Amino acid sequence: MRLIKLINIQRKETPIYYRKEYSAEAVLEFLEKNLGIAVEFVVEHKPVGGVDVRVSLLDELDYPLLPVVNTIKTHILDLQDQGKLP
């Protein structure tokens, strides 16, 4: 399993300035086939520094969830560090 990219990243409006909610589609490669799954994630800045990322998969997936979620979280943190999230 390999994450190719996150596409259609949409930011949801929230009244809390340190918490940003997003929806997107994750394009994953399984056994040389590409699969798109809907995801929602939250990027929250902690009061003492650092960032907490929570990911929810909205579609069913026939693969262990923990490696998929960890891969998506790592990619989201990279996008956050590069300033590429809306």
Cα distance between residue 27 and residue 5, in whole Å = 5
How far is CA 65 from each of CA 2, 31, 46, rounded to the nearest angstrom?
13, 16, 25
Q: Where are the alpha helices (DSSP H) in the chain?
A: 65-82
Tokens of 11: 């930011």
pLDDT at residue 31 is higher than 90: no
- Please report which confidence band the pLDDT of residue 30 belongs to, taking 50, 70 and 90 as the band edges: confident
Number of structural domains, the chain? 1
Q: Could you tell me the pTM of the whole model?
A: 0.92
Q: Which domain holds residue 70?
A: 2-82
Contact 4, 29 (CB under 8 A): yes
Alpha carbon 49 to its chain centroid, in Å, reads 20
